[in-house]
Chains A and B, each alone.
Chain A
């Protein structure tokens, strides 16, 4: 009886199925719709304007990095990358230093306050960036930090705190109770427990948070646009300005800029794909 019950299921799985066929068709079509524009941008970076217009999808005739050099000359991308790297590093450090102890408290100290705290931070998901753009600009101006990358290092952690805290707290909640019990018996204080026990054991969670925050910070455009000026462009601003700097559009130049600006993110994407996807899912569910 049992055997015969198992058989039709397996048969169903092996049978060529119209749904699976359709799934492949749609998936391949959509994948092509994604890949073709990306491919177009990559090959455009190695072509001149006439080639881009007349044969948009043809492979470049030569591996000429001239457009990358030109993009650097016209947009000073290296300086922008340096500023973005500083802002990103600073923001990552500040965010983690703030979020980790808070996440420990929320996850491991039994008090009713932890639910309240999580509630306050999840308000962050509901505040549209545009709504606070002007007030943030005024605050920055009053503090005398306008056009200073420090302003971004102060501001970005606030944007990244809700997700960081929720992901880290979720990670630490799953750790066994005995972890701090033994440490308390040895006479360790909270800070020691956090640094010597929870930071090392939470490395996978910390890595997820660092990766997600990296993508957010590196890619941020709106606040950098109003808070920075031409001397202190982040890479995203420099990229957008490649277009504004020219009278007629030299698309090869822009394509080279797109590639330069996206390399760090895609390198991280290749290595941490699963972490990025699961982290974003966890963030979405908690919202």
Chain B
């Protein structure tokens, strides 16, 4: 009898406890939504909703804010495929990527590894290497204007060392303009990523290095055989960061310094999008370029993720 009552009480207690936990869970979920709600709403309204709009506008013909907007479905994308400027923009963007990623990351990694050895002076190097990353795009562009303009520092230097025949109007010359813009990204990018690599390498336990050293490995071997494999996944992250920057952010240098010229020498995908949207005012078409830019980004991110996670094991 006593054991039966006990069993019943135990059962009701268990049910009460389960009930309590369910209610707690429900109230917790409500609290969660109330706290996250405002931030989420803000983010959805000003980041994801514009993205949805990008898709919608890309399916319309719209040649100016005050002009009528008509639905044309995929017409803009057909135009994309036929537009010779798109081919030029893709080519220039590809060149930028092919120099801007391999030209930055190996050097950044090696400098980051060297700093992570914490030899005397590494703090000064770290500060100097990081300082270009504090510059705004506008300041960066104005600094390089001072170097690249016809009477700028670069030509003055070439004249001074007797290489006057190498002087150029760097930003106004078909063959050098794109390269001049890419150099800006190398200049600041190597330093930025070297500090990121330095910070990431600082998380590697020192015993790993010591073990390799006892086996007779030098720093060079340790850098590529111990440190690099440990950072493979991080390397993938950095490739994605730099890729996205070149695809989108780097267009600001074009806006500030060359306007896509001379001719189409610095016409990149990102700049062409800006040009179509705000200067030529082909609004629908500009968003078709945006859709393309967005998907190129997503595809490459997925590819890099896949490769880097596969290599890591």
Contacts and interface: CB of A to CB of B under 8 A. Distances in A.
Interface of A: 5, 8-9, 12-13, 17, 19-20, 23-24, 26-27, 30-31, 33-35, 37-38, 40-41, 44, 52-54, 56-57, 98-99, 101-102, 104-106, 109-111, 113-114, 117, 120-121, 123-139, 141, 154-155, 157-159, 161-162, 165, 190, 194, 215, 218-222, 225-226, 236-237, 239-240, 242-243, 249, 251, 254-255, 257-258, 261-262, 265-266, 269, 273, 276-278, 280-281, 284-285, 287
B130 to A, nearest CB: 7
B50 interface: yes
Contacts of A19: 218-220, 223
Interface string B257-268: 000000000000
9 contacts: A102-B36, A105-B31, A121-B40, A127-B294, A136-B50, A157-B42, A219-B138, A243-B142, A276-B130
A240 B129 contact: no
Contact of A56 (B126, B130, B138, B156): B156
A41 B293 contact: no
A132 B47 contact: yes
Interface string B5-30: 00000000000000000000100110
B183 to A, nearest CB: 10
B213 A109 contact: no
Given A19-B219, A136-B46, A127 B237 contact: no
Interface stretch (B76-84, B174-182, B271-279): B271-279
Interface of B is mostly: helix
Interface residues of B, number: 103
A35 B138 contact: no
B39 A130 contact: no
B249 interface: yes
Contacts of B42: 98, 157-158, 161
Contacts of B53: 132, 135, 138-139
Contacts of A136: 46, 50
Contact of B143 (A8, A111, A141, A258): A258
A12 B142 CA distance: 47
Given A5-B214, A23-B117, A127-B294, 19 more contacts: A9-B210, A24-B121, A30-B190, A37-B143, A41-B143, A54-B156, A98-B42, A99-B39, A113-B36, A124-B43, A124-B47, A130-B248, A161-B43, A236-B137, A249-B145, A266-B134, A277-B195, A284-B234, A284-B237
